Each structure stands twice: as C-alpha cells, then as structure tokens.
C-alpha cells in the first residue's frame, strides 16, 4: 500500500514474529496494522472507542489513533453503514463493527441497496472498500439476537464478498486483506472462539483471501466447515481417527465467492461430503455447497451430500443451544450415515 506508515513507537513490531495469540488479540493487531499502514482506514461502531468494543477487538485503537479514526457512533446500524458509504466515496476505508450478529438487520437496507450495488450502478465509478465486521454464531449462553448466523443473506447478495476466519493466524491476516480489498467485505468473526489461541507469524506471507484451505487430509470422507464450526470439524476428525476413520477437513474461509475447487478435488477422492454450519440449512451456504458438489462430482459421490446445521427455527433460548448447535457427536453421526450409505 502506497500510504505512508505512521511512526508510532508504542506499536513497534514485536521482538519475535511468531506469537501465540487469541483470535480476538490477532484481530486487534490486524486492525492496528491496517490503521498504521493507511491513514484512510477508520473504525466505526458502537462502544468501540474507550471501551474497545464489547469483545475488546478494537481495544486501545482510539487511544492511539484518535476519535476521528476510531468513531464511537450513535446507536443506529443503518447510520453506521450508510455513513460509511459516504466516507468511502470520500476516499476513506471504513471498518464497521456490528456489535452482535442479530443487530445487523437495521443496516440490512443500506448493505443490500447501496453497499452491494453502487459499484454496479455506476459501472465502477464508485468503489466501496468497506469492511463490516460481525461477531457471529452461538454457544455463549446469550439472550436472543446475540447468537445468530446471518451469513447466507449476504452471500446471496451480489456485490458483496463474505469471509469468515476460524483461527488466530487467519484472523490477523484476513482482516488486513479484507481492508485492502476494493470490494465491500462482510467479515464474520467466530465469537465463541475469540479466546482460543494459536500461533501467528506476523511476517509470513499470507495466501489469497478468497481461497478455502485443506486443514487436515483424509481419505474416507470430507468435512467442510467455516468460522466456529471449523474447530468442531477438526475435533470430529481427531475422534474419528481414533476409530480408524480418516476425515479430510476443509476450512471454507470465503463464503462469497465460494472457493470449492479444493472441495471438489477432495470429494473426488473421498466420495463423501458432510457440510457443517451453525446456520439453519434451508437455502443456506451449506445448501449451495451441496448443489455445486452434486453438479461437479456427480460420478464420484458414494453417498448424498449431508448437512449438519442449526435447525430451521429461530435461535432457541440458550439453555437449548447445545442441542441446536452442531457438535462433535452430530458430525460423527452424519459421517457414519454417509459411510453406511
């Protein structure tokens, strides 16, 4: 990026490039790196300044970059997105935080009607490099509207790009790549995994943003997941291995555009696919994957594509979320059904 780097002694590079970080800290460091690299990068959201966001993802950024680059906004999501559009037209690269998944809907109109369509409407004369960060998914024992998985709405909308990170290294790099992208990006963060740790090499060259990735190779069946369900899929593969079943695990990473090339390649070898997602299954990303895989891998499939998802209900009271959310047992049950077909 051509923009000048700001000299900030307090934010000097860490002594060692490889650190063990939580997803939340990795996101925080990624945001900081983007703000340092480009003075046009600004943060917008509710309680993201002094408080550092309810999940502390923007912790310390307002203190170091000022109130004009880290905006505590009025409490209205359409306002956050709608003004981000104007700021982007003015040359800024706004990063909007939606406090919880279920609160994105007041901003839905601006996202779908303006953010997604202005580039098309003007045939490229207006670019909107806006990132909309959404902590999403359940499993935290929260009240209603705090545990939802609305990603399919946005993947269904042309003009938007949609990604989800599942680990600290991806969190650190993907948020920076999303900010660098000239298209609007919905960035879904697995909130119940915020405090899971992993190694992050802050000097490594990251792979492309819009690419899925094989995390574990296997031969008997393929598991595809994204965001918070990647951990569940990996745990399932570990458990299955103890029983002698070899599962391949693919982290989708990008939900729009979908990068299914590694999935097709995998299914052609394993012949079996289980898609895991917290979102309800009707007309979902999981459904789209099933449709595309049957189209591309028709003669390789040994069993129908199975989906392990949240149910087609509103998100239930949290005492029922253990039943609602796909877990290791439900994933393995689906694997068994696939293998027994």
Partner 1 sequence: MSSPEQWTHPEPDAAPAATAAKPTAEQVIAGLRATDEGGADLVQLLTPEGERVTHPDFDIDISAEELRGLYRDMVLIRRVDREANALQRKGQLGIWVPLLGQEAAQIGAGRAMRPTDMAFPSYREHGIAWTRGVHPTELLGIFRGTDQGTWDPVEKRFHPYTIVIGNQVLNAAGYAMGQKFDGKVGDDDGEATMVFFGDGATSQGDVHEGFVWAAVYDAPLVFFCQNNQWAISEPTERQSRLPLYQRARGYGFPGIRVDGNDVLATLAVTRWALDECRHGNGPILIEAFTYRMDAHTTSDDPTRYRLSDELELWKLKDPIERVKVYLVRQQWADQEFFAGVEAEADELAENLREFCVNMPDPPAERIFSNVYAEGNPNLEAQRDEFLDYVSGFAGGEH
Q: Which of 159, 113, 155 is nearest to 134 (CA)?
A: 155
Q: How far apart are CA 158 and CA 98, in angstroms?
A: 21
Q: Does 175 bind partner 1 (CB under 8 A)?
A: no
Q: Please say which residue, 120 or 341, places its beta carbon nearer to partner 1.
A: 120
Closest distance to partner 1 from the beta carbon of 127 (Å): 5
Per-residue contact flags (x/-) with partner 1 for residues 6 to 25, judged by CB under 8 A: --------------------
Q: Please say which residue, 61 or 334, places its beta carbon nearer to partner 1.
A: 61
Segment interacting with partner 1 (CB under 8 A) among 123-131, 223-231, 267-275, 315-323? 123-131
Buried/exposed code over 117-137 (b: 16+ C-beta within 10 A; e: otherwise): bbbeeeeeeeebbbbbbbbbb
Q: How far apart are CA 193 and CA 21, in angstroms?
A: 12
Q: Please say which residue, 255 or 306, places its beta carbon nearer to partner 1.
A: 255
Q: Which of residues 239-258 bind partner 1 (CB under 8 A)?
A: 256-258
Q: Please say which residue, 63 or 121, places its beta carbon nearer to partner 1.
A: 121
Segment interacting with partner 1 (CB under 8 A) among 117-125, 279-287, 312-320, 328-336? 117-125
Closest distance to partner 1 from the beta carbon of 105 (Å): 12
Q: Does 182 bind partner 1 (CB under 8 A)?
A: yes
The residues that bridge with 221 in the sheet, in sequence order, are 247
Q: Does 45 bind partner 1 (CB under 8 A)?
A: no
Q: Please say which residue, 235 or 265, places its beta carbon nearer to partner 1.
A: 265
Q: Which whole-number Å values give the CA distances from 249 to 25, 243, 246, 284, 325, in the listed order?
A: 25, 17, 10, 20, 19
Closest distance to partner 1 from the beta carbon of 20 (Å): 33
Per-residue contact flags (x/-) with partner 1 for residues 134 to 173, judged by CB under 8 A: ------------------------xx-x------------
Segment interacting with partner 1 (CB under 8 A) among 14-22, 79-87, 221-229, 262-270? 79-87
Give how many residues touch partner 1 by CB under 8 A: 43
Segment interacting with partner 1 (CB under 8 A) among 13-21, 97-105, 121-129, 197-205? 121-129
Closest distance to partner 1 from the beta carbon of 244 (Å): 37
Q: Does 341 bind partner 1 (CB under 8 A)?
A: no
Which residues are part of the catalytic machinery?
146
Interface positions with partner 1 (CB under 8 A): 68, 73-74, 76, 78-79, 81-92, 106, 109-110, 113-114, 118-127, 129, 158-159, 161, 181-183, 256-258
């Amino acid at each position: 990026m051509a923009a000048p780097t700001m000299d900030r002694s307090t934010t000097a590079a860490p002594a060692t490039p490889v650190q063990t970080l939580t997803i939340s800290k990795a996101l925080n460091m990624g945001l900081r790196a983007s703000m340092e690299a480009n003075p046009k990068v600004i943060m917008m959201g509710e309680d993201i300044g002094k408080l550092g966001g309810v999940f502390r993802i923007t912790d310390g950024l307002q203190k170091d970059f000022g109130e004009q680059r880290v905006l505590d906004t009025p409490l209205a999501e359409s306002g956050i997105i709608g003004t981000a559009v104007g700021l982007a037209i003015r040359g800024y690269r706004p990063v909007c935080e939606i406090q919880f998944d279920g609160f994105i809907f007041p901003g839905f109109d601006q996202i779908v009607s303006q953010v997604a369509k202005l580039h098309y409407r003007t045939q490229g004369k207006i670019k909107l490099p806006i990132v909309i960060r959404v902590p999403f998914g359940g499993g935290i024992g929260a009240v209603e509207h705090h545990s939802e998985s609305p990603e399919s709405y946005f993947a269904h909308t042309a003009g938007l790009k949609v990604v989800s990170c599942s680990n600290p290294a991806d969190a650190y790099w993907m948020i920076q790549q999303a900010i660098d992208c000239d298209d609007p990006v919905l960035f879904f963060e697995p909130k119940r995994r915020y405090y899971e740790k992993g190694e992050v090499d802050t000097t490594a060259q990251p792979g492309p943003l819009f690419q899925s990735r094989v995390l574990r190779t296997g031969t008997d069946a393929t598991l595809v997941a994204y965001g918070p369900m990647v951990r569940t899929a990996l745990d399932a593969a570990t458990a299955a291995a103890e029983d002698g079943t070899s599962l391949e695990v693919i982290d989708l990473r990008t939900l729009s555009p979908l990068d299914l090339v590694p999935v097709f390649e995998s299914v052609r070898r394993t012949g079996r696919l289980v898609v895991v997602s917290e979102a309800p299954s009707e007309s979902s990303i999981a459904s789209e994957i099933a449709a595309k895989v049957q189209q591309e891998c028709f003669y390789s499939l040994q069993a129908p594509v199975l989906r392990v998802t949240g149910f087609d209900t509103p998100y239930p009271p949290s005492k029922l979320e253990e039943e609602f959310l796909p877990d290791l047992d439900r994933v393995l049950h689906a694997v068994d059904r696939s293998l027994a077909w």
